Structure 1
Amino acid sequence: MTDGTQKPDSARPTGKRQLSGASTISTASVEAKRAQQRREEDSSEGPGGGVVSFLPEVVQEVRKVVWPTGREMVTYTLVVFAFLIFLTALVWGVDQLVTLGVDAVLT
C-alpha cells in the first residue's frame, strides 16, 4: 500500500500459543507419528496380538499399576465399610417406614 501502512502478513501466527512461542505441531511430526503407528500395527499378529503375547502384556501392564500403600488400603477399607453401614441403615429405615405405612393402610 502506498499510504505507509503495511498489509497484515497472512503467515504471521495469531493464536496465543504461536505468539507466546509455545511449540506447535508440524505436519512432518504428525506424519512421522502416523507412520510409526502403521509400522506397529503391521508388526502385530492381528487384534489382541495373539495368545502367546498375552501373558507378557499382562506382566507389562501390572508393572505400570501404582499400588496403594498399606495405610491407604486401611483408609479405603474403612471408608467402604462406613459407606456400607450407612447404606444398610438407610435401606433398613426406609423398609421400616414402608412397613409401618402399609400396616396402617391395611389395618
Structure 2
Amino acid sequence: MPEITYVVPDGTSHVVDVPVGQSVMDGSVRNNLPGIVAECGGSCSCATCHVHVDEQFAASFGEITDEERDLLEYAEDVCDRSRLSCQLVVTAGCDGARVTVPDSNG
C-alpha cells in the first residue's frame, strides 16, 4: 500500500497507508488526522479538505479539474500546489507523497 505523509497544522507528520484507488482525504479521515474536515464527504463541493502537495509528487496525481480550481478560489492559504485532497486519488506511483494541511484548516 502506498504511504502518504500528512503534515498537519501543528507541524507534526503522520505516515498513513492509503489503499490504491482511495483518496488522500479518505486516508486522513480514516485515521482521524486534524485539519482535513471533509464536510461534503469527498464530493468536490466544498474546500474543507484543501492541502498543499509537495512539488515532487504533484504529477503523481491526476490533473486539477475546473470544478476543483473553482472551489479553491474560496479556500484560504491557496498556492500553486493547492489541491482538494478528495480529488487526489492514490496510485502505486504516489508512494512517499507528502501533503501539508494549511494552518487555515487547523
Q: Same fold (TM over 0.5)?
A: no
- TM-score, normalized by length of structure 1? 0.15
Which structure: greater helix fraction? 1
Which structure: greater strand fraction? 2
Greater RCO (Cα-Cα under 8 Å, separation 6 or more): 2
- TM-score, normalized by length of structure 2? 0.15
* Greater gyration radius: 1
